[in-house]
Chains A and B, each alone.
Chain A
Amino acid sequence: MKFNLKQITFVTTKETEFINITDNVKEFVKISGLENGFVLVMSKHTTTAIIVNEGLPDLESDIAKQLEHLAPNDMPYYRHSRFLHSDGQMAINSSSHIRGALLGFEVIFPINNGQMIVGNRQTIYFVELDGPQERTYVIQAMGE
């Protein structure tokens, strides 16, 4: 069993942003040279997400709006709305954390005959939920 890992760091530009990373993942699988196995994509942050959806701007907008509806910016019952001594900052981004938790932080795809198996309409997104910030996601291919 072989394991290949890559970390990609970049700066997001908006508070909420959908970044298509499908080609990066496919390219990594290709250069990893694995015939069979899995590829994992994972965000290293708690106010971002990794999701799969159809790569359409209207869906990106709808998902963003629905997230705002499900986890509004300011709610009086949020407890994560205070000074965070371990950071030295105000922790006032509970909505971003909740949105991240709703979407999830990783996806996994099979590798078969050297190809990543992915549906025609499936697009892999890195989703920024509290930007702009410097962010990192990990791609790991595992197999033989």
Chain B
Amino acid sequence: MIDFHTHPFMIKELTEMDNNLARNIKKVFGFYFPPQPLKVFLLELETSGIDRAVILPIDCTTSYGCTLVSNIQIAELTEKYQCFIGFASIDPKTKNAPQKLEKDIKELGLKGLKLDPSLQQFDINDKNLTFPVYQVCQELDIPVMIHCGLSWAPRGLEKYAFPLGIEEVAQAFPKLKIIIPHFGWPWYQESIMLAMKFKNIYLDTSIIFSGTPKEVLQHVLCDLIGMNVLERNLHFQILFGSNYPRADIRRSVRGINSLQMSTSLREHIFSLNAEKLLKLEK
């Protein structure tokens, strides 16, 4: 099983080496609990039955003068621990962002790109700023996760996190694989509409706003959207994500397992869709 949405931000080994990182994670991303040893993250995966986790950094160089874990730190974690799959982050507003992305993907062995328009503060469909970055992703055939929906980060601006801008991106880059995390909540209707229209748009299940994962997943996926819609239309485009450590992985896995769905859909959500998207060997 693969967790497609984790942030390695509260790892004691990283924050103890870098006071600025600890300060920026608190100030920009809004984590105020004590960092935990890396071993806790690894055990959390193990106890949840998760074999591999995508770890996501966020480069906020121009918006807040910091990176929330660097691409090099991500690469060091993935080199040391096979359970981690590293994504890069670049700031589209920095000079030579496309070139930096290409270099980091090729040299650091990272498998995708994470963008957070709400924290990095750019328009998803800004042709001058973002399209060269998407072009690199399409050429390298790596997926890009573009944060949409509620950002719990105190410095995040929701006006940049509305998913509809992705439509122009999907039209301009028909081979680009795009992940909308959190089902774009509260804009889940726009998000599923995009995913139903474009087969290369994926949705991750890290929906967190109220209640336990079991409750919130039941509410959004079953009561509001309808499991039949997912079974029929989005069988191959849904990815399991927890958003750890905003929510724990154990309860997020239990949340998916509590839903009434076909065995096939469950397998695709937990493993098969992510394996295919990341071109992982079984």
Chain A positions within 8 Å of B, measured between CB atoms, are: 11, 13-15, 73-74, 76, 81-83, 86-90, 92-93, 131-134
Contact = CB atoms under 8 A, between A and B. Distances in A.
A73 to B, nearest CB: 7
Given A81-B210, A88-B29, 14 more contacts: A11-B39, A14-B47, A74-B214, A81-B212, A82-B211, A83-B152, A87-B32, A88-B152, A89-B245, A89-B247, A92-B212, A132-B39, A132-B40, A132-B43
A7 to B, nearest CB: 14
B250 interface: yes
Interface string B202-241: 0000001111111100000000000000000000000000
A76 B43 contact: no
Contacts of B29: 88
A14 to B, nearest CB: 6
A90 B215 CA distance: 13
B106 interface: no
B246 interface: yes
Contacts, number: 69
B37 A134 contact: yes
Nearest to B211: A81
Contacts of A83: 152, 208-210
The residue among A15, A74, A133 with the most chain B CB atoms within 10 A of its own CB is: A74
Contacts of A133: 36, 40
- What is the interface residue range for chain B against chain A? 20 to 34
Contact of B211 (A14, A92, A131): A92
Contacts of B250: 15
A88 B30 contact: yes
Contact of B32 (A81, A88, A134): A88
A86 B34 CA distance: 12
B160 interface: no
Contact of B40 (A81, A89, A134): A134
A74 B33 contact: no
B141 interface: no
Contacts of B31: 87-89
Contacts of B209: 83
Nearest to B215: A74
B251 interface: yes
29 contacts: A11-B37, A11-B39, A11-B43, A13-B43, A14-B47, A73-B214, A73-B251, A74-B215, A81-B210, A83-B152, A87-B31, A87-B33, A88-B30, A88-B32, A89-B31, A89-B245, A90-B246, A92-B211, A92-B213, A92-B247, A92-B251, A93-B248, A131-B43, A131-B47, A133-B40, A134-B12, A134-B36, A134-B37, A134-B40
A88 B26 CA distance: 9
A42 to B, nearest CB: 18
B47 A132 contact: yes
Nearest to B34: A134
Nearest to B214: A74
A60 B211 CA distance: 29
B33 A88 contact: yes
A89 B9 CA distance: 13
B197 interface: no
Nearest to A82: B210
Contacts of B212: 73-74, 81, 92
Interface in B74-95: none
A81 to B, nearest CB: 5
A74 B177 CA distance: 35
B254 interface: yes
Contacts of B34: 134
B44 interface: yes
